[in-house]
Every structure is written in structure tokens, then in C-alpha cells.
């Protein structure tokens, strides 16, 4: 006999706890998670609530009126300019969608449903595409299609002797074009998931009944994918409301505002005093619109789920053979990436080397120098870079810590209200992020300033960034945690591990690949984030993108371009690391 | 020793509440292997998980070695990590990020009192050698075959020298051959260590071949509890009769009752039966007869046997025997005969059934 028989062991005293503590249906680890979840939910709802409250109040911080009033709403709906802005925004969102949808959809279809040979290239460029700041490509497009100095316009004018410039990027349609190009990857990611989750046997059933390939696509594939596609469309529409980079770079100078840019001009007081009440009322209107769209979105998601026949069978659908069309697909892919990223970025670099922008010529090349790079306000830029780096480290770390707490409560406990908590964590996905920025700004100014003075610090930015990434973070940790078999965790409990011990020695190691991937992605998004930072920034807490934007908006196009180029160069190593990790996760293989 | 008293657990969902376990009482003596057998959803796994502390019962009491680990009356709840138990999960739950050694060492490294490094090493290697895995100690756990993972799970559940070992369908993920092998091996390890074991399965062959006591569960209740031989030979309810092995079950009325022998009138005629409970004239009862206990009558049948006339139906060859339907009046019963029996469909046949193979059961 090798083991001592249990009969021989002196009975070890197992403490049968009788106190209140032992009777609690959870352990301290769960209790801490619960507290984190409740706190986070309060913050998310609080930020929205502050917007709602201040939309009913007049006056500046310090002398805000006590009485509730609808005056701000009157201003929103009676000011023709505000209505123009809303109308602009709708047009802008629609144009964005018209551009992004076909591009993303075709990409997703190529990768998931055909034997296209460049899948890894598409997947890599699509995810990296999302990491290139919108303001950088918008700047590039301005240099291309500016009615006066745009390279293409100049060239066409000279070629055909035109008086009028044929293209003008500084319009709603132009903004939609640029924004659409940069949001196509988002449509791609969301619809690719839909195509992947679809049971190929449904399609094969149709083809075995003698239906032609393209008819299968139109009659089976597309109708099945429809709810998912619509959900992606709604999401991109909501993002259009929050988009700041592109409308700001292309429209600010000409006072063509969309929701985000107008909101900033209102609260910045670029025309007189900041009008916080008006900003809050405007935001409240958009919250209502977003809530309606969000409701539609959740309906679509549910429908998409019902259609999804997950078989768990490990067999790949029969791929459509492209044959000669493979080359056409390659040409399409190259064209898309040239237009959306390469050409604008090349122009950005070109512009950054010139004292003033001019058509490429021998004279222009002779004038090239690094003077823009020298004249960047380096003191400010390095300070901003420092802030950005701190945020890059803290945002993903805190977001994921909170996300893990959420997932733990939502998936691993039977806590009351856990479904609601999950819904609240998802809110930042459905509400334009800029609203949370406004909420945080207003909360800091009106409510917190006297006892937690975080206005003007990077902690305010951190707060907003974390809230904005919470929906992505919780989706990632949810799916990571679901994949960990319940019995792995129960086995640890039976083995004597406490709640925290189980988490540390079993859950965390198994979750770490997901966490690492999500961490890097959030860090990279943080690096490029302009919208949220610009809303809550003041002189003391600028980030790198904010400095680029303020150089640009104050007319220093060359210096702004130079700093944009530098900031992109700095992040290249991290993008390479991300690429390798994504590749190892299999995220870049169809 | 494990005792469960009046255990009740209700699941509540939006559709309403339903009993997973209702008023379960059981007692497992020291060193006994006790099996809960039943169809899926009968509450057997829930009962086991209540013992483990992975489910929280609504009411009742659970005692391990006389110490309460749960009592609704006294308000006692000991969380799983403080209970002196070991458990083998259906999925084995081998931690994929640890080596074989680390998996087994894990339970020793938990808890307040520190175990010395050398002692951990010794005890882990002992546990591994008990299941013949000591040569694979340094291998990463995912690189084990199904059978090896199962042994590893067993070693891990034993290393802490628990008072109770819980086995939750541990063999269901193995192929048939390996399953047979592991049945014997688990039984012999448990016997050698003399550990009190609660075993949950839906496979009657596992229950019958491994257990000291089998309890058949249905719908949250224990229907019958007995030694394997008795539960097979003397089922007390139609459910148990047809869940364990095959059984012909039909209704009957008691027509005469003398000491030790009861005669009933049934759809297949008058039968002399054994009854394990008191009956009186006119009682409605059920009779259970196992197919293998019915013989085709030839000259050698004993005169005490019940003789029944019928017509042969279709015979099915199942390898080690022939299974055949016999039509008696409007009723059909199944019989099992030697595989070389010469049976012609439609031919008249005379069947012999010994009285002690006709078990009387209470009608529900």
C-alpha cells in the first residue's frame, strides 16, 4: 500500500464556519469583483446621467441655476444651425456607411467564403488599418483633394485647363468618403464573424439541390447573414456620430460641423463662452437616437443568433474558387489599401518635408527639409508623449482588470442583476463615445471639482478611456472565460483553493493569452485616440494626438504633419508585436 | 463515512421551479463504494455536487465523518475548498497549463499550512505510482491520452488523502475497451486505500460491477438501494426493473396467498411468484420477469416452474444470445435464449419461468 488509508489519518479539524461570513454565498474575491462591477456601473450610468441632468440646467460651473429648465432643448431645436449640424451628421453617417459597407462586406466574403490567396494580407492590413489614426489619413486626403492646393485637383486643372477644382474633399461627402474608407475594416471584422458562424451545410444544401453559386449567395448566404450585416451597419452609424478626427480635419476650417466637432466647438467656447448646457442637451438628443439604434441593434443581434446554427463540426465550408478572379481580387485589395492608407500617408510625409504645401516638382523637391520637424514644439510634444505612454499602459490594464471582474460576476456567479451589469458594460458600444467624454467633463467641472479636482489631469482622460473600452474589454474577457471549462475551476476549489487562489492559479493563466491580445489592442487604440482626449483635455493634460490636432487647427499644417509622421513611426514596433501575437492566436488566418 | 439527510434542492428559472433533488437520504459506511445510478436529469450529479459543495442545497443536512458540512437547520455551510473531499470530474478537469506533477501537487500547495517541498514531492510521486503514472511526472498535462488523463485525475483527487472520494461519471469519456480496464483499476485502488466513495453513473454495468451498494435514482428520488446482486435480482419498482437490465413488466391481481408463495392472475396467465412484501387477496400488483430467466420448456423443466403457452415472434441475433418476442394472448414478452436455439417464427412454444424469477412489485 502506497497511500495511507483515510481511516488511519487522524481526523483533521475542518472548520465548519458558523459565522455570518461563512454563510455568504460568495468568497472575498467575488465580493471585491462585485464591488468593482457596481462601482463601474455607477460611473457609466453616472456619466450619462450627468449629461441628462445638465441638459436641464443653465449656467456655468459655480453659478449653475438650481431650477430645471427646458431652455437648452429650445436652443437645440430652434437654432437653425444646430439643426443643420444634425442633418450634416446624418448625411455624413450615411455616406460613411455607403463607402464602408461594400468594401468591408466584399473583404469579409473574400476571406471567409472564397479561396482568395491573399487572406493573411487582408486580415493583417485590416487590423493594422484600424490602428492608423483617422486624423493622419484625413490630413493626407486634404493634401490630395483640397480644392485649391490638392495635388489631384492641381494636376487635373493644369491638364484640362479647368477653372473650378473637380473634387472637393472639404464637404460632407468628402468626409464620408474618408471616414468610410477607414471604417471598412470594422464592417469587415463584424461581418466576417457572421459569415464564419454560419453553418455551411445550409449553403451546401442549396447547392446540392442544383442552385447556382451566385444564386446561393443571393438567396441563402445574404439573407442568413442579413441580421449580422444590419447590426454592423447600425454600429458604424453610431460611430459616425462619435467620429471626430475626419470631420475635424476636413471641416473645422470651413465651419462644416458634424455632431462631434460641433459639440467640441460648443463646449470649448470657440465662439465666446463655453455653452455646456447646450452641449449636454445636444448630447441628450443623440443619446435618444443612439438608444433607438441600440435597441434595433440588439434586435438584429438576437435575430443573428437565432439564424446561427452552430454545429461544432470541425469542417470547413466548400470555398468558392476564384480562378482568374483571384487577380481581380488582388487588384481590388491593393487599390483599397493604396487609397485608404498608402497614398494619404505618403502625401502626409511629403507635406511634412515642405515649408508650405505645393505640387510635386523639381522646385518642391529642392525646397524639402526637416525644418518642420525641428520646429515642432518639442517641450509640449514630449510632455504629451509622456501622458500618452502613461495612458497606453494604464488604460488597457485597468480596463481589463475591470472587465475580468465583470465577466467573473456575470458568468461565474448567480448574483442578482448580473445581466444588467453586462448590459451596462455594453453601453459604451451603443452610445457614441464622445457622450461619455462630455459626461466626464461636465461631472468633473460641475460636481467633482471641489473635492476631487481631476479636471485638467490625465486621470480624467484615463477615466473616459477606460469607460469607452469597457465594452470591448468585457466582450473579450467574456469569450475568454466561457472557453475555460467550469470543471477546471471546480477542480481547483475541490483541491482546496479559495476563490482568489482559483483565479490566480487556474483562471488567470488560462485567460492570459486573451488578456495579452486585448491589452495590446486597447493600448494601440489608446495611442491613436483623439476624439475623447480632445473633449476632456486642457492645457495640463494634452496627449500626442491632441497636440497634432491643435497644431493643425491653428494653421501649422507642416508641423502637424511632421508630428503625425513621428507619432506613427513611434508606434510601428508595437504594431509589429501585435501582428506577431495576432498571428500566433490565429487571428490572421481565415 | 458520509451521511445525507433529507437533502432538497430546487432550481428556479423563469419557467418556474423544479425539484432537482427531493428528500434524499443516504448513508455510506467507511470504505464503501456507493453508486448513484439513474438516467440523466434524475438528480444524481446534483446530489454529488451538493456533497462537494459546488451546489448549495435548499434544505437538509450533509455530514462527513460525523461533522456537518451543510445543515439548513443549524445554518452551516462549509465551502468546497474546506471540505475533506477529492473529486474526479467527468471531463477530468486536468489543468492544461501545468505538468502532470504540478497537477497532482496543486492540492497539497493550497491551504494555510505549508507542506514541505520534499514531502510534496514524495506524496505526489506516491499518488502517481498508485495509478502507474510516475514515469510521466514531468510531461505537460495536455500530452496525455484519455486513459492517462483519467488516471491523473484520480491521483490528484487522492493525493490530499480525502475522507470522501467523489466520482462524477469518470468513465464516460473513454472508449469501451479502456472503460472496462479502468473499472477494474479504479475499484482496486479504492479497495486498497479503503476510501469511502460516492460514484455517479448512468451505466448500469459500471454500477453493478464496481459498487458495494447501488442506489437507483429517478426524478430526484432514490427509488431503491441495495447490493448489486439484489437490485438486479429483486427490483421493487417497475422503474428499477426496466432501468437495470431488461425486464418484462405487467400488471396482475393476487388470487391466492400462502406462506412464501403468491399466485397472481396476469395477462400471460396464472403465475406462482415470490413476494418481498405482504400481499392479500385481490391486491393489484406488478410482476417483473427478466428475459434471461425465461426458458423454452423442454423435457427437463422442473415441475414447480410456471408454464406458459405462446407463439414465437421475431428473433434477433445479438451475438452472445438470441432475443425473441413471444406472443401470449394480447401480450408480448421478450425472452433471451442460447444463440444456437432453433426458433421458427410463428411456431407455438411453451415457456418455463421459475417462481423465484417472477418478482412481485407494488403497483404505483
Q: What's the confidence (pLDDT) of residue A210?
A: 67
B 129-188 residues with CB below 8 A of A?
129-130, 156-158, 160-163, 166
What's the structural domain count of chain A? 2
One domain, residues A43 and A76: no
Q: Are the beta carbons of A4 and B77 separated by less than 8 Å? A: no
How would you write the pLDDT of chain B (364 residues) with one tens digit per residue? 999 999 999 887 667 777 889 899 999 999 999 999 999 888 999 999 999 999 889 999 999 999 999 999 998 989 898 899 999 999 889 999 999 999 999 999 886 667 888 999 999 999 999 898 999 999 998 899 888 999 999 999 999 899 999 999 988 888 888 888 889 989 999 999 999 999 999 999 999 999 999 999 998 999 999 999 999 988 888 899 989 888 999 889 999 888 778 899 988 888 998 887 888 888 899 999 999 999 888 766 667 788 888 898 888 888 888 889 999 888 889 999 888 877 778 888 889 998 888 988 887 6
Return the SS3 of A486: helix
Q: What's the confidence (pLDDT) of residue A8?
A: 35
Q: What's the confidence (pLDDT) of residue A271?
A: 64
- For chain A, the 3-state helix, strand and coil shares in percent, each to the nearest 5, are 75, 0, 25
One domain, residues A80 and A115: yes
Q: What's the confidence (pLDDT) of residue A19?
A: 38
Lowest-confidence segment of A196-200, A453-457, B169-173, B341-345 by average pLDDT? A196-200
Cβ(A496)–Cβ(B160) below 8 Å: yes
Cβ(A249)–Cβ(A257) below 8 Å: no
Q: What's the confidence (pLDDT) of residue A13?
A: 34
Report the residue of chain A nearest B56, measured CA to CA. A25
User: Region A23-42: what's the mean pLDDT?
Assistant: 82
Burial B216-234 (b: 16+ CB within 10 A, else e): bbbbbbbbbbbebeebbbb
Mean pLDDT of chain A: 83
Q: C-alpha grid cell for residue B324?
A: 425473441
Cβ(A542)–Cβ(A461) below 8 Å: no
The answer to whether residue A430 is domain-embedded is yes
CATH of the domain at A385: 1.10.3720.10
Within 8 A of B87 by CB-CB distance, chain A residues are 490-491, 494
Q: What's the confidence (pLDDT) of residue B68?
A: 93
Q: What's the confidence (pLDDT) of residue B304?
A: 75
Report the residue of chain B nearest A513, measured CA to CA. B97
Residue matched to cell numbers 518642420 = A372
Percent pLDDT > 90 in chain B is 47
| pLDDT grade for A64, boundaries at 50, 70 and 90 | low
Q: C-alpha grid cell for residue A483?
A: 472557453
Cα separation, A101 vs A225, whole angstroms: 13
Cα end-to-end span (Å), chain B: 33
Q: Which helix (H) or strand (E) holds B60?
A: strand B59-64
- For the ranges A51-60, A168-177, A430-439, B294-303, the maximum mean pLDDT occurs at A168-177
Separation in Å, CA B340 to CA A84, B317, B326, B333 = 94, 10, 17, 20
Cα separation, B178 vs B360, whole angstroms: 38
* Interchain contact B76–A (C-beta under 8 A): yes
Cα separation, A82 vs B184, whole angstroms: 81
- Rounded to whole angstroms, the maximal C-alpha distance in chain B is 77
Cα separation, B300 vs A345, whole angstroms: 101
The answer to whether residue A214 is domain-embedded is yes
One domain, residues A153 and A80: yes
Q: What's the pLDDT tens digit per position in B311-338?
A: 988 888 888 888 899 998 888 899 998 8
Residue matched to cell numbers 492517462 = B148
Cα separation, B268 vs B309, whole angstroms: 8
Q: Which helix (H) or strand (E) holds A119?
A: helix A119-129
One domain, residues A412 and A332: no
Cβ(A289)–Cβ(A76) below 8 Å: no
One domain, residues A112 and A43: no
Cα separation, B244 vs B228, whole angstroms: 10
The answer to whether residue A520 is domain-embedded is yes
Cβ(B128)–Cβ(B137) below 8 Å: yes
Return the SS3 of A356: coil
The answer to whether residue A491 is domain-embedded is yes
One domain, residues A380 and A487: yes
The answer to whether residue A148 is domain-embedded is yes
Q: Are the beta carbons of A2 and B129 separated by less than 8 Å? A: yes
Q: Which of A3, A480, A508 to mutate to test the interface with B (most CBs of B within 10 A)?
A: A3
Q: What stretches of A392-431 adopt beta strand conformation (E)?
A: none
The answer to whether residue A16 is domain-embedded is no
Q: What's the confidence (pLDDT) of residue B364?
A: 66
Q: Are the beta carbons of A494 and B85 separated by less than 8 Å? A: yes
Query: Can you tell me the ipTM of this complex?
Result: 0.85
Q: C-alpha grid cell for residue A298?
A: 440588439
User: Does the CA dihedral B231-B233-B237-B240 come out positive or negative?
Assistant: positive
One domain, residues A35 and A170: no
- Give the number of C-alpha atoms closer than 13 A to the C-alpha of residue B73, restricted to the C-beta side: 7
Q: What is the DSSP letter of B140?
A: B
Q: What's the pLDDT tens digit per position in A533-546?
A: 888 888 888 999 99
Q: What's the pLDDT tens digit per position in A368-406?
A: 888 889 888 889 999 999 999 999 999 999 999 999 999
Q: For Cα atoms B325, B330, B332, give the angle at the middle one, nearest 5 degrees.
A: 20
Instruction: Say yes or no to pLDDT of A215 above 80.
Output: no
One domain, residues A105 and A239: yes
The answer to whether residue A396 is domain-embedded is yes
Q: What is the CA radius of gyration of chain B?
A: 25
Q: What's the pLDDT tens digit per position in B30-64?
A: 999 999 999 988 899 999 999 999 988 999 999 99
Q: What is the DSSP letter of B202?
A: S
One domain, residues A506 and A439: yes
Return the SS3 of A37: helix
Report the residue of chain A nearest B161, measured CA to CA. A6
One domain, residues A49 and A79: no
One domain, residues A30 and A119: no
One domain, residues A300 and A187: yes
The string of DSSP codes covering A146-212 is -TTT-HHHHHHHHHHT-SS-S--SSSHHHHHHHHHHHHHHHHHHHHHHHHHHS-HHHHHHHHHTT--
Instruction: Say yes or no to pLDDT of A2 above 50.
Output: no
Lowest-confidence segment of A9-23, A160-174, A374-388, A456-470 by average pLDDT? A9-23
Cβ(B79)–Cβ(B53) below 8 Å: yes
Within 8 A of A3 by CB-CB distance, chain B residues are 126-127, 130, 158, 161, 193
Question: What range does the domain containing A583 cover?
Answer: 26-55+376-590
The answer to whether residue A64 is domain-embedded is no
User: Region A188-196: what's the mean pLDDT?
Assistant: 80
Instruction: Say yes or no to pLDDT of A488 above 60.
Output: yes
Cβ(B337)–Cβ(B343) below 8 Å: yes
Burial A63-84 (b: 16+ CB within 10 A, else e): eeeeeeeebbbebbeeeeebee
Cβ(A372)–Cβ(A386) below 8 Å: no
Q: What's the confidence (pLDDT) of residue A200?
A: 66
Instruction: Say yes or no to pLDDT of A437 above 60.
Output: yes
Amino acid at each position: 500500500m502506497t497511500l495511507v488509508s483515510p481511516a488511519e489519518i487522524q481526523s483533521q479539524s475542518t472548520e465548519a464556519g458558523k459565522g455570518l461570513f461563512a454563510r455568504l454565498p460568495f468568497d472575498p474575491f467575488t465580493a471585491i469583483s462585485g464591488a468593482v462591477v457596481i462601482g463601474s456601473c455607477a460611473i457609466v450610468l453616472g456619466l450619462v446621467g450627468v449629461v441628462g441632468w445638465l441638459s436641464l440646467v443653465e449656467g456655468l460651473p459655480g453659478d449653475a441655476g438650481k431650477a430645471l429648465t427646458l431652455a437648452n432643448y429650445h436652443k437645440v431645436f430652434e437654432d437653425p444651425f444646430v439643426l443643420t449640424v444634425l442633418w450634416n451628421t446624418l448625411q455624413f453617417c450615411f455616406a460613411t456607411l455607403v463607402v464602408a459597407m461594400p468594401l468591408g462586406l466584399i473583404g469579409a466574403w473574400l476571406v471567409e467564403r472564397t479561396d482568395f490567396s491573399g487572406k493573411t494580407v487582408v486580415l493583417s492590413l485590416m487590423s493594422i488599418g484600424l490602428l492608423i489614426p483617422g486624423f493622419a489619413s484625413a490630413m493626407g486626403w486634404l493634401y490630395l483633394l483640397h480644392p485649391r492646393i490638392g495635388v489631384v485637383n492641381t494636376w487635373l486643372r493644369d491638364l484640362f485647363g479647368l477653372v473650378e477644382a473637380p473634387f472637393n474633399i472639404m464637404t460632407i461627402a468628402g468626409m464620408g468618403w474618408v471616414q468610410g474608407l477607414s471604417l471598412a475594416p470594422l464592417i469587415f471584422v463584424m461581418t466576417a464573424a457572421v459569415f464564419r458562424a454560419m453553418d455551411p451545410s445550409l449553403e451546401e444544401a442549396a447547392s446540392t439541390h442544383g442552385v447556382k453559386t451566385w444564386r446561393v449567395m443571393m438567396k441563402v448566404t445574404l439573407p442568413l447573414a442579413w441580421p449580422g450585416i444590419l447590426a454592423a451597419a447600425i454600429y458604424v452609424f453610431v460611430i459616425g456620430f462619435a467620429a471626430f478626427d475626419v470631420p475635424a480635419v476636413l471641416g473645422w476650417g470651413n465651419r462644416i460641423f458634424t455632431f462631434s466637432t460641433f459639440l467640441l466647438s460648443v463646449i470649448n467656447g470657440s465662439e465666446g463662452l463655453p455653452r455646456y448646457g447646450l452641449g449636454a442637451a445636444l448630447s441628450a438628443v443623440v443619446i435618444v437616437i443612439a438608444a433607438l439604434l441600440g435597441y434595433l441593434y440588439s434586435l438584429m443581434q438576437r435575430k443573428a443568433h437565432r439564424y446561427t446554427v452552430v454545429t461544432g463540426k470541425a469542417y470547413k465550408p466548400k470555398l468558392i474558387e476564384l480562378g482568374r478572379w483571384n487577380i481581380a481580387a488582388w487588384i481590388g485589395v491593393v487599390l483599397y489599401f493604396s487609397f485608404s492608407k498608402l497614398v494619404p500617408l505618403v502625401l502626409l510625409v511629403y507635406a511634412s518635408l515642405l515649408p508650405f504645401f505645393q505640387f510635386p516638382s523639381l522646385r518642391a523637391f529642392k525646397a524639402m527639409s526637416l525644418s518642420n520637424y525641428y520646429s515642432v514644439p518639442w517641450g509640449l510634444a514630449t510632455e504629451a508623449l509622456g501622458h500618452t505612454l502613461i495612458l497606453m499602459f494604464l488604460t488597457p490594464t485597468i480596463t481589463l482588470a475591470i472587465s475580468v471582474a465583470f465577466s467573473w460576476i456575470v458568468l461565474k456567479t448567480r448574483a442578482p442583476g448580473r445581466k444588467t451589469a453586462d448590459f451596462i458594460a455594453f453601453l459604451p458600444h451603443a452610445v457614441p463615445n464622445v457622450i461619455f467624454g462630455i459626461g466626464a467633463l461636465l461631472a468633473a467641472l460641475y460636481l467633482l471639482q471641489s473635492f476631487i479636482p481631476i479636471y485638467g489631469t490625465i486621470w480624467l482622460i484615463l477615466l473616459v478611456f477606460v469607460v469607452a473600452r469597457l465594452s470591448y474589454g468585457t466582450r473579450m474577457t467574456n469569450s475568454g472565460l466561457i472557453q475555460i471549462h467550469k470543471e477546471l475551476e471546480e477542480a481547483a476549489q475541490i483541491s482546496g483553493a479559495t476563490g482568489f487562489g482559483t483565479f490566480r492559479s487556474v483562471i488567470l493563466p488560462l485567460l492570459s493569452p486573451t488578456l495579452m491580445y486585448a491589452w495590446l489592442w486597447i493600448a494601440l487604440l489608446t495611442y491613436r485616440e483623439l476624439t475623447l482626449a480632445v473633449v476632456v483635455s486642457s492645457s495640463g493634460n494634452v496627449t500626442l494626438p491632441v497636440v497634432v490636432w491643435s497644431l493643425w487647427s491653428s494653421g501649422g499644417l507642416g508641423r502637424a504633419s511632421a508630428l503625425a509622421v513621428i507619432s506613427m513611426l513611434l508606434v510601428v514596433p508595437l504594431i509589429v508585436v501585435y501582428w506577431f501575437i495576432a498571428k500566433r492566436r490565429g487571428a490572421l488566418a481565415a | 463515512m458520509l451521511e445525507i439527510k433529507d437533502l432538497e434542492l430546487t432550481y428556479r428559472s423563469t419557467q418556474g421551479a423544479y425539484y432537482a433533488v427531493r428528500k434524499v437520504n443516504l448513508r455510506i459506511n467507511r470504505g464503501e463504494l456507493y453508486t448513484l445510478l439513474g438516467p440523466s436529469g434524475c438528480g444524481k450529479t446534483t446530489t454529488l455536487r451538493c456533497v462537494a459543495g459546488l451546489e448549495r442545497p435548499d434544505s437538509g443536512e450533509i455530514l462527513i465523518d460525523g461533522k456537518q458540512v451543510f445543515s439548513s437547520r443549524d445554518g452551516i455551510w462549509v465551502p468546497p475548498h474546506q471540505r475533506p473531499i477529492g473529486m474526479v470530474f467527468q471531463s477530468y478537469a486536468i489543468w492544461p497549463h501545468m505538468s502532470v506533477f504540478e497537477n497532482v501537487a496543486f492540492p497539497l500547495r493550497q491551504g494555510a499550512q505549508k507542506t514541505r517541498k520534499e514531502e510534496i514531492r514524495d506524496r505526489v510521486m506516491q499518488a502517481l505510482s498508485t495509478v502507474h503514472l510516475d514515469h510521466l511526472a514531468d510531461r505537460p498535462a495536455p500530452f496525455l491520452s484519455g486513459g492517462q488523463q483519467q488516471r491523473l485525475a484520480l491521483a490528484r483527487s487522492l493525493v490530499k488523502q480525502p475522507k470522501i472520494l467523489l466520482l462524477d461519471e469518470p468513465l464516460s469519456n473513454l472508449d469501451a475497451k479502456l472503460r472496462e480496464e479502468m473499472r477494474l483499476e479504479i475499484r482496486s485502488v479504492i479497495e486498497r486505500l479503503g476510501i469511502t466513495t460516492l460514484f455517479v453513473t448512468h451505466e448500469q454495468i459500471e454500477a453493478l460491477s464496481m459498487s458495494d451498494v447501488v442506489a437507483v435514482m429517478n426524478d430526484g428520488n432514490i427509488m431503491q438501494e441495495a447490493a448489486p446482486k439484489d437490485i438486479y435480482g429483486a427490483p421493487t419498482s417497475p422503474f428499477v426493473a426496466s432501468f437495470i437490465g431488461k425486464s418484462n413488466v405487467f400488471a396482475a391481481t393476487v388470487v391466492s396467498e400462502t406462506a412464501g408463495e403468491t399466485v397472481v392472475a396476469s395477462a400471460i396467465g396464472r403465475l406462482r411468484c415470490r413476494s418481498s412484501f405482504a400481499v392479500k387477496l385481490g391486491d393489484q400488483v406488478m410482476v417483473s420477469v427478466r428475459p434471461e430467466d425465461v426458458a423454452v420448456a423442454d423435457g427437463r423443466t422442473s415441475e414447480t416452474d410456471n408454464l406458459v403457452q405462446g407463439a414465437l415472434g421475431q428473433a434477433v441475433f445479438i451475438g452472445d444470445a438470441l432475443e425473441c418476442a413471444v406472443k401470449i394472448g394480447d401480450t408480448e414478452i421478450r425472452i433471451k435464449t442460447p444463440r444456437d436455439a432453433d426458433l421458427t417464427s410463428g411456431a407455438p412454444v411453451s415457456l418455463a419461468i421459475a417462481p423465484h424469477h417472477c418478482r412481485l412489485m407494488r403497483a404505483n
